[in-house]
Amino acid sequence: MRPSPSTLLRVLYRIATTAGLRLAFFGLLALVAAWEPLSQVGRTNDFRDAHLLYAYEEAGARTVATYGQAPLWNPWTCGGQYALGSPQTRVASPTVLLSAALGAHRAEAVVLWLFLVLGMEGFYRFARQRTGSAAGALVAAPFFGLAGFTAHAWSLGWLNFAGFLLLPWLLFGTRRAAEGHLEGAALVAGGFALQLGFGSSYPVPMSALFVALEAVRTLVSQPVRRSGRWRAGVWALGATALFTLGASMFRLWPLVETMRSAPRIMAGTPSHSLETVGRELLQFPSNADVGHFFFLPGALVLALGAVLARRRAAYPAVLAGLCLWLASGYAAKPSLFAALRLLPVFGTLRYPERFLVPAGLFLAELAALGFAALLLRSTRGRAWKWASGVACALAVAGIAVQVIGFSTLAGRVTLVPTPIAVDQPFAQTRGNRWAQGYFLPLNRGSIACGEAWPVPMSERLRGDLPQEEYLEDPGAGTARRVTWTPNRLEVDVDATRPTALLINQNWHPGWKSSVGEVVSREGLLGVTLPAGHHRVELRFLPRSGLGGTAVSALAWGGLALLAWAKRRRGGASPWPGPRAVAVAALPLVAMGAMWVGWHEPEAMPVLRNTDGSLLGTAELPANARVIHGRFERPVELVAAQVPSAPDARGIVPVVLYWQVRGKVPRSVGIWVHVAGPGERKTADHAVVGGTFFFRDAPRRALLRDAFALSAKDWEPGEWKVLVGLWYAGDDGARLKAFTDDGTPVPEDRFEVGTITVPPKPKP
Amino acid sequence: MTDTATTRVRWRRASLAGWLAFALCGVTAGVRAATVAPAPERKHLSDVERVQVGRAAAAEEPTWRAQSLHNFPGDHWSQDDDFSAAERSWVMGEAQRRDVPVEEVFRAIDEELHSSSPVQPPRKATAAPCKPRAFYD
């Protein structure tokens, strides 16, 4: 006897709604999908980013397991780094404990498995809430949870992108909170805190965007409006936002503080045609160029069924469309991604295609809707029965293909033998930015640093010192290391006169000394000391990390208090309402008090050109050629320094002096053409000194924009240097140029100098 | 027992079995990750060989530095980045040629740098502060 469709539906429903069975299904799928990664952990991913992120995690794990300290300071990368302030580290997540127990490599695959389960379970809850169908949510969960990007990210060592898998939890929690459920606030706060702790600069801002949309969507939805719970929803969401801020402060405060002192800048106009976007999303990853976000086309067929659900399908369909629009970057006209980049934080996003991850979420929601709509109609006749049968077959086959796609992508990794540890005292070495994972096992810090943001580093760091702790004035006495740990150092100093103890690590305002005063010596960590014998104890106690953790603890305490009051007082409890908002605001008030009462020096950004010279200057040098060139925007080309010939190494250093007097669009950049015998070289740059756009430049300050060209292969003769401005991230048009008295300049460019390349010496 | 009660008991048992299966999946993941064998250990460089390798890298450095200077004129971090790429490529080749772990070659370079203190130009024992390029597309 064949089971009837209604029996099948009932069984599917029972499996979906029985937590144990559902999690077993997700756990098994995750295990099969992650089997390839689980089998790789005896070796090391050789991609350069994987080296860096592995070094971060292993440093955190070693700090916990070997030294019994919290992973606050990481001395092994970039000459010493504030681990909580570096956006890509995962050490502020509880998963660091697993890394401490198993080692970073082995823990990574287990964490991946956990996140895959979390992603599928989160999607199930989100989609069930949205579609009302447990069966549809169960079937579509693997389409999102096992989407290709997590596997692609794994193959490059970017495990922290698994944070995207928390997005459905955040959306689910937002709606629950807006409907007045306290656990919704806890889910949103916990989800964002975990995403932040787990690192990466994409999941948090992108999730925040969709959470904001979800909040609006819930508030304007008919059930909330009609029931009159709109006002309560606003209070609940306000309190949720404050709780989330508080709960995230253990990481958010260090991050904001660090990014203020070392802002990340991202230029360029990344563009993807619709075809590329489609191939990235829908094509099976049969070769290295496609399918990095693989989302089964079969799921789209199910998604087509969502038209049966009509109004419920509209929102996810619109959001999926918006994500595709964003993912195409600057190729779409108008570009939504370009508009998004005008917002704070979003301006640092480099890869628009990552919006295909939330696109997958909303497409999976449509698939859940379509599957549910077909199943519901299966009793209406033979055709519907067939259609629902096909949908079931498609879903089962689709899940299998999704798992295979995941494994294929995760298997695209270059593995090398894991480095063997050498037991020796810590020291800095020059290191290598492309192979950082080799230095930590040697207990060496790599000064060579390759991050996506300008890590505050000292140029005085060295990889050849006989000892890492030494006196600034070598004749003043001796320094001897007594204890070395990541967050605490002890050094015995005998000084015959006042001097400074220098540590071969970067300075950070969080370092405190038991004797003397902690100072920055051109960014190097130092302690000024009086004459005499001292045991100097240096401890890393950053206000933002310790204070932020206290704020987060207070936020969770506040949430627990509200939960207790709700259970005890029921309807008379402060949640949701203005008193709940006040409770949620308290941790942030405490943070303000800490900010005022806990003094710590502020690390100020030092704005430099790519050659290390300062970007600001008080006056023009005597040999600068005055230009006073004006443009249609309030930017002036004040002067230029162009050498008459390349230097002995064949390098042509050029300096342009700029002044910005008013508002300038982000897209305005500098173009530099060097026209010589029969050809032209370019040195265009949209970012002044590689540091900021004209839009963000200090007003009326004299900016010194230094760059250089290599004349090694230039033909002998005269080369004219021509400079102008253009809309680099826009239509590419030149800005109209004028002389000081307002006369238009032909071709909208200024000739700022001539370089004579001498004939090449005969061999 | 009624049919409904029987069904309820059956599903409760199924739920328990599900939780057990889920736990088993987690344990399998953990055990698999903890027990995958590392790559077999290879031979190490002797003290003398490390000195030789360190000197060989030092001899190559001026060429890599000069190349980086022209690949990224005026951009100190990019020059070091370019140098790192050249050095890494050489290190991988050297490790393969001598059939030793890659970290052995890096260790040799580190020891040579420390023994040559202070390292003089055109070689460097320093690194330009991280200042990544704003353009990647």
pLDDT per position as a tens digit, B83-132: 999 999 999 999 999 999 999 999 999 999 999 999 999 999 999 999 99
Contacts of residue A269 in chain B, CB cutoff 8 Å?
137
The confidence score (pLDDT) of residue A230 equals 84
Contacts of residue A709 in chain B, CB cutoff 8 Å?
73-74
Grade residue A6 by pLDDT with cuts at 50, 70 and 90.
Answer: low
Query: Cα separation of A127 and A362, whole Å?
Result: 9
Indicate if B70 and B108 belong to the same structural domain: yes
Indicate if B61 and B6 belong to the same structural domain: no
The answer to whether the beta carbons of residues A199 and A93 sit under 8 Å apart is yes
The count of other CB atoms within 10 Å of the CB of residue A135 is 26
Specify if A141 maps to a domain: yes
- Give me the sheet containing A668-676, strands edge to edge: A679-682, A668-676, A717-727, A750-757
Specify if A241 maps to a domain: no
B137 pLDDT more than 50: no
Between chains, do B102 and A416 touch, taking CB under 8 Å as contact? yes
Mean pLDDT, residues A609-627: 95
Query: What is the distance in angstroms between the Cα of A190 and the nearest Cα belonging to chain B?
Result: 22
Indicate if B51 and B85 belong to the same structural domain: yes
Residue from the list B33, B66, B107 with its beta carbon closest to the beta carbon of A102:
B33
Q: Which residues face A526 on adjacent strands? A: A502, A519
The answer to whether the beta carbons of residues A493 and A534 sit under 8 Å apart is yes
The confidence score (pLDDT) of residue A1 equals 41
Between chains, do A38 and B136 touch, taking CB under 8 Å as contact? no
Residue from the list B11, B38, B85 with its beta carbon closest to the beta carbon of A14:
B11
Specify if B122 maps to a domain: no
Mean pLDDT, residues A678-698: 92
Query: Cα separation of B125 and B114, whole Å?
Result: 9
Specify if A737 maps to a domain: yes
- Put simply, whether A205 touches B (Cβ < 8 Å) is no
Label residue A700 left, alpha or beta by phi (over 0 means left) and psi (-120 to 50 means alpha). Answer: left
- Give me the sheet containing A616-617, strands edge to edge: A616-617, A702-710, A651-660, A635-641, A625-631, A737-738
Specify if B121 maps to a domain: no
Indicate if A404 and A465 belong to the same structural domain: no
Handedness of CA B103, B105, B109, B115 (dihedral sign): positive
The answer to whether the beta carbons of residues A420 and A37 sit under 8 Å apart is no
Contacts of residue B90 in chain A, CB cutoff 8 Å?
none
B136 pLDDT more than 60: no
Total tally of structural domains belonging to chain A: 3
- Put simply, whether A443 touches B (Cβ < 8 Å) is no
Between chains, do B74 and A611 touch, taking CB under 8 Å as contact? yes
- Put simply, whether A31 touches B (Cβ < 8 Å) is yes
Between chains, do B39 and A14 touch, taking CB under 8 Å as contact? no
State which H helix or E strand residue A178 sits in: helix A167-178
Which one of A21, A105, A415, A423 would you mutate to disrupt binding with B, by most B Cβ within 10 Å of its Cβ?
A21
Contacts of residue B114 in chain A, CB cutoff 8 Å?
427, 429, 463-466
The confidence score (pLDDT) of residue A4 equals 55
Contacts of residue B69 in chain A, CB cutoff 8 Å?
649, 651, 710
Specify if B137 maps to a domain: no
Nearest CA in chain B to A433: B84
State which H helix or E strand residue A183 sits in: helix A182-198
Of the residues A382, A410, A438, which one is the last residue of a structural domain? A410
Specify if A611 maps to a domain: no
- Put simply, whether A429 touches B (Cβ < 8 Å) is yes
Between chains, do A435 and B88 touch, taking CB under 8 Å as contact? yes
Specify if B41 maps to a domain: no
- Put simply, whether A441 touches B (Cβ < 8 Å) is yes
Between chains, do B74 and A441 touch, taking CB under 8 Å as contact? no
Backbone torsions φ then ψ of A616, nearest 5 degrees: -100, 150
Indicate if B98 and B76 belong to the same structural domain: yes
CATH number of the domain where residue A702 is located:
2.70.50.60
Specify if A677 maps to a domain: yes
Residues 6+ apart with CB under 8 A from A499: A471, A472, A473, A476, A477, A528, A529, A531
Query: What is the distance in angstroms between the Cα of B68 and the nearest Cα belonging to chain A?
Result: 11
Indicate if A676 and A751 belong to the same structural domain: yes
Query: Cα separation of A191 and A171, whole Å?
Result: 10
- Put simply, whether A145 touches B (Cβ < 8 Å) is no
Longest alpha-carbon distance in chain A: 98
Between chains, do A464 and B116 touch, taking CB under 8 Å as contact? yes
Of the residues A540, A569, A585, which one is the last residue of a structural domain? A540
The count of other CB atoms within 10 Å of the CB of residue B8 is 12
Between chains, do B77 and A419 touch, taking CB under 8 Å as contact? no
Specify if B23 maps to a domain: yes
Nearest CA in chain B to A522: B129
Contacts of residue B123 in chain A, CB cutoff 8 Å?
none
Count chain A–chain B contacts defined by CB atoms under 8 A: 250
Specify if B128 maps to a domain: no
Contacts of residue B101 in chain A, CB cutoff 8 Å?
417, 419-420
Indicate if A19 and A134 belong to the same structural domain: yes
Contacts of residue A426 in chain B, CB cutoff 8 Å?
none
Indicate if A492 and A641 belong to the same structural domain: no
Q: pTM (2 decimals)?
A: 0.94
Residue from the list B73, B113, B128 with its beta carbon closest to the beta carbon of A709:
B73
Q: Which domain holds residue A645?
A: 616-757
Between chains, do B84 and A350 touch, taking CB under 8 Å as contact? no
Indicate if B52 and B86 belong to the same structural domain: yes
Query: Cα separation of A123 and A117, whole Å?
Result: 10
Query: Cα separation of A728 and A35, whole Å?
Result: 46
Indicate if B80 and B60 belong to the same structural domain: yes
Contacts of residue A447 in chain B, CB cutoff 8 Å?
126-127
Specify if A77 maps to a domain: yes
Nearest CA in chain B to A457: B129
Query: What is the distance in angstroms between the Cα of B19 and the nearest Cα belonging to chain A?
Result: 4
Nearest CA in chain B to A34: B29
Residue at A103: amino acid letter: G
* Direct distance between the N- and C-terminal alpha carbons of chain A, in angstroms, rounded to an integer: 93
Label residue A340 left, alpha or beta by phi (over 0 means left) and psi (-120 to 50 means alpha). Answer: alpha
Closest CA relative to residue A508, chosen from A200, A199, A75, A88: A75
Contacts of residue B74 in chain A, CB cutoff 8 Å?
609-611, 651, 653, 706-709
Mean pLDDT, residues A738-754: 96
Specify if A636 maps to a domain: yes
The confidence score (pLDDT) of residue B101 equals 95
Total tally of structural domains belonging to chain B: 2
Of the residues A540, A558, A578, which one is the last residue of a structural domain? A540
Indicate if A462 and A529 belong to the same structural domain: yes
Indicate if A98 and A165 belong to the same structural domain: yes
Indicate if A716 and A660 belong to the same structural domain: yes
Indicate if B23 and B65 belong to the same structural domain: no
Specify if B130 maps to a domain: no
- Put simply, whether A431 touches B (Cβ < 8 Å) is yes
Question: pLDDT > 70: what percent of chain A?
Answer: 99
How many residues would you count in chain B?
Answer: 137
Specify if A136 maps to a domain: yes
Specify if B100 maps to a domain: yes
A483 pLDDT more than 70: yes
pLDDT tens, residue by residue, A268-291 = 889 999 999 999 999 999 888 888
Selected residue with higher pLDDT from A13 and A486: A486
Helix (H, G, I), strand (E, B) or coil at A179: coil
The answer to whether the beta carbons of residues A242 and A588 sit under 8 Å apart is yes
Mean pLDDT of chain A: 93
- Residue that the structure tokens 């029985």 belong to: A18
Q: Which of A95-104, A343-352, A639-648, A718-727 comes out lowest in average pLDDT?
A: A343-352
Strands A651-660 and A750-757: unpaired
What does A75-138 look like in DSSP terms, one character per residue? TTBTTSEEGGGSTT--TTSTHHHHHHHH-HHHHHHHHHHHHHHHHHHHHHHHHHHHHS-HHHHH
The confidence score (pLDDT) of residue A5 equals 56
Q: Which domain holds residue B9?
A: 1-36
- Residue that the structure tokens 């309560």 belong to: A232
Mean pLDDT, residues A193-207: 95
Residue from the list A24, A422, A441 with its beta carbon closest to the beta carbon of B18:
A24
Nearest CA in chain A to B110: A429
Indicate if A638 and A527 belong to the same structural domain: no
- Put simply, whether A474 touches B (Cβ < 8 Å) is no
Between chains, do A430 and B124 touch, taking CB under 8 Å as contact? yes
Indicate if A406 and A470 belong to the same structural domain: no
Interface of A with B in 597-626 (CB under 8 A): 608-612
Mean pLDDT, residues A546-564: 97
Three-class SS of A658-693: EEECCCCCCCEEEEEEEEECCEEEECCECCECCCEC
Burial class (CB in 10 A: 0-12, 13-18, 19+), A456: buried
Query: Cα separation of A112 and A31, whole Å?
Result: 10
Grade residue B1 by pLDDT with cuts at 50, 70 and 90.
Answer: low
CATH number of the domain where residue A485 is located:
2.60.40
- Put simply, whether A514 touches B (Cβ < 8 Å) is no
Indicate if B65 and B11 belong to the same structural domain: no
